[in-house]
Structure 1
Amino acid sequence: MYKTFFVSLLLCLNLVGCTDKSDSFSSFDEARSALKSLNTVLILGQESNNKKITEENIVYSNEYLDKRHAIYQQLMTMKLTPNQITQVNYLVIAERFPERFFPWPAQVDVLHNMSLFNRSASTVEQTISWLKFTQAKLGIAKQSNLKLNKLEYSLLQEYVAQAIVNKATQGAIKSHIRAFSNYLDNYKPRGSVGLRGLSNGSEWYQSKLNYYGNAVNSPLEWVVIINKQIKALESAVINVKFKQNHTKSFAVQYLSEEPLINGLDWQTHYLDLPAMASNTKLSNNDKLLMLTMMETDIGIHYHAWTIDQAKVNLSKRLKVSEQTAQYLVEDIILYPGQSFSFCGQICY
């Protein structure tokens, strides 16, 4: 028995000794930097044109998932603030949901981003590998009835079409892009655009509501709370400023002039949106805007509203233009739950 114990102890010591110290982080900020480096093809850094893409940068590859999980696990051992702990718990919970089956997040033109990296043979090889990996993952996902929604599908088709006609696209890659385009031509997206249309989608959506809303309420409970607040506000014409793409969510853009609070999630551009929103002063018009976004969010992701139904609700509540309604609905589809970051100020 003692011999077995000492052999096990020696093995553990060897494992510790072999651990790459460069992958150890002593602070929240160091771990955050590691996540930013890992997600570099999703959100470009200033150094991207001089950087090579590694296996770990292939989004949702086994190497990527292992690296990200290791960073999360280290964060869980650190002494963090309550807000930081909440962020880490949210991201750890998200690991169990089906996001990993969709290696091309539709809000980001990953193919274009990869073309901006160091143009070496290895970068070309990694881009081709990523396209094949994405197609294979989408095929595996379909076997589990996990499919892109219509908006995600349309955006991917748009990115691919742009890459094919772009003269700067390298010839070695273009044939593989065409092959992926042919695959998409025969792909049938799911009917529902909301998360509830996915396996475990309702649970995934609930985790987002819990995090961004900072409260454990069911979607139906949220509807009661939101409608009560909306009734206290008058309908108004809302002027909304936004970029023409969805690389940054509307919530991130809205809070861009507020004091920044660091976060861990690439989908929030590494900002702590609930903490930032809690410090923001909202006019009555802005309160109505955010409440209507929340109401529409639940409509899409829980009640399975169509895009047209969601646009009608936004136009009715806010009297916004067709273009603005379309943009906001797309934002809600691509960034579920983020509007609930403002709940701390306006829901109670």
Structure 2
Amino acid sequence: MICPPKYFLFLLLFLVGCDSYTPISFDELRSSLQVNNSVLDGTVIEPDKLTLPFSEAYLKQRHFLYERADITSFDVSQQSELAYLKIQERYPERFLPWPAQTNILRNLTTKNASVEHWSTFVVQRLSDAKESKILLSRYERNTLSGYIEEASDEANELKAYLAQYKPRTRLGLYQHPNGKEWYQSKLNYYYGMSKSPNETLNKIQTELAHRGKKVLLELPITKANHVALSYLQSHCELVQGLNWVDAYTNLPATSKHCAVTHNSDITRLFLSLMEIDIGLHYQGWSKQQARVTLQARLRLTDFEADRLVEGTVLYPATIFSLTPFVMFSS
């Protein structure tokens, strides 16, 4: 049988396509994501190879890498993390190209890359995002403005834009389009189970009440905003992950396999942070409400409480990865 020319061409393209989508291992996926994220995580490569975060090229490459993963070779925790990262592609993050967790201007200037080009790109993306009612919080806007103050004059366009930018009124994810669903997806992954945030909050508050109302404790406050990551880095053997936000550490897997023990004061800290996490990102608490709640649970100065609130804003639901260290009374 002789194949028609069109059929032969289709078959040839199909075979070439299959070859270009050769599955990649977990380690290959991790290293490739690090290259794509190089401006985000600070390991900036040569300027002519830079991919601007959340640009079309960045998004396409990230999606391509996710799809190439050979999940049959992944363990359960690796499969869970990849599934979570794929779900995150659905949500507004891609419209906010400069995550407040990282000083991208500093990362770019380290390699003399074009700050002006980046500034123009961010202005355009934020302007487009407004059309879909996707806005930075006041804290995020102020953080980005602070980064710009530390940088060169090349970001003047972005500086002027942020000066007149009207942020959303609250700090939590709930205020974004599909924000509650976005938060729920994060909670499902870091908590390790699918529970309603309100049900989980009730359980946390019941446990805190069982431990005594308004008991004030003196606790060392970590200098890092990412409390869960900082704690695990200090006490556990880290399990490698895929997410740049968590420093390529699989937080739930690390907690699950960590044998560290701690006192009840640390448990109270974790529970209190879990409480305000749901309050801010799902129930719409203000910064003041979250601060007051923390100070009712723990002995904290305003500065310490604000820092913990800010960390909760930047790293939604990550504190729930420490659930294996929290023993509930019932």
TM-score normalised per structure 1: 0.87
User: Are residues 1:339 and 2:327 paired?
Assistant: no
Question: Which residue in 2 is equivalent to 1:166?
Answer: none
Q: Do the aligned partners of 2:25 and 2:70 also contact (CA within 8 Å) in 1?
A: no
Mark the CA change 1:25 to 1:56 in structure 2 (over 3 Å): closer, same or farther.
farther
Q: Do the aligned partners of 1:293 and 1:339 also contact (CA within 8 Å) in 2?
A: yes
Structure 2 unpaired stretches of 5+ = none
Which amino acid letter does the alignment assign opposite residue 342 of structure 1? L
Mark the CA change 1:231 to 1:266 in structure 2 (over 3 Å): closer, same or farther.
same
The superposition leaves residues 194-236 of structure 1 with CA deviations (integer Å, 9 ceiling, x where unpaired) of 0011001111000000000001011111112212222332434
2:12 is paired with a residue whose SS is helix
User: Are residues 1:79 and 2:73 paired?
Assistant: yes
1:41 is paired with a residue whose SS is helix
Q: Do the aligned partners of 1:208 and 1:336 also contact (CA within 8 Å) in 2?
A: yes
User: Are residues 1:104 and 2:81 paired?
Assistant: no
User: Structure 1: how far apart are the matches of 2:119 and 2:49?
Assistant: 13
Within the candidate set 160, 165, 175, 1:187 is matched to: 165
1:261 is paired with a residue whose SS is coil
Structure 1 unpaired stretches of 5+ = 164-168
The superposition leaves residues 102-130 of structure 1 with CA deviations (integer Å, 9 ceiling, x where unpaired) of 1110111110111112x3xxx23xx3222
Shift of 1:320: 1.4
Q: Do the aligned partners of 1:261 and 1:271 also contact (CA within 8 Å) in 2?
A: yes
Within the candidate set 188, 199, 204, 2:177 is matched to: 199
Counterparts in 2 of 1:102-181, with a 5 A limit?
102-117=96-111, 119=112, 123-124=113-114, 127-163=115-151, 169=152, 174=153, 176-181=154-159
Which amino acid letter does the alignment assign opposite residue 313 of structure 1? T
Q: CA RMSD in A?
A: 2.0
Question: Which residue in 2 is equivalent to 1:93?
Answer: 87
Which amino acid letter does the alignment assign opposite residue 33 of structure 1? S
Within the candidate set 282, 285, 289, 1:302 is matched to: 282
User: Structure 2: how far apart are the matches of 1:97 and 1:55?
Assistant: 27
1:42 is paired with a residue whose SS is helix
TM-score normalised per structure 2: 0.91
Q: Do the aligned partners of 2:38 and 2:50 also contact (CA within 8 Å) in 1?
A: no
Question: Which residue in 2 is equivalent to 1:44?
Answer: 42
Identity fraction in percent: 34
Q: Do the aligned partners of 1:55 and 1:61 also contact (CA within 8 Å) in 2?
A: no
User: Structure 2: how far apart are the matches of 1:277 and 1:216?
Assistant: 18
Which amino acid letter does the alignment assign opposite residue 182 of structure 1? A
User: Are residues 1:15 and 2:17 paired?
Assistant: yes
> Number of paired residues?
321
Question: Which residue in 2 is equivalent to 1:285?
Answer: 265
Structure 1 stretches of at least 4 aligned residues deviating more than 4 Å after TM superposition: none
User: Structure 2: how far apart are the matches of 1:241 and 1:223?
Assistant: 23
Mark the CA change 1:133 to 1:347 in structure 2 (over 3 Å): closer, same or farther.
farther
Q: Do the aligned partners of 1:210 and 1:217 also contact (CA within 8 Å) in 2?
A: yes
User: Structure 2: how far apart are the matches of 1:55 and 1:95?
Assistant: 23
User: Structure 2: how far apart are the matches of 1:270 and 1:129?
Assistant: 28
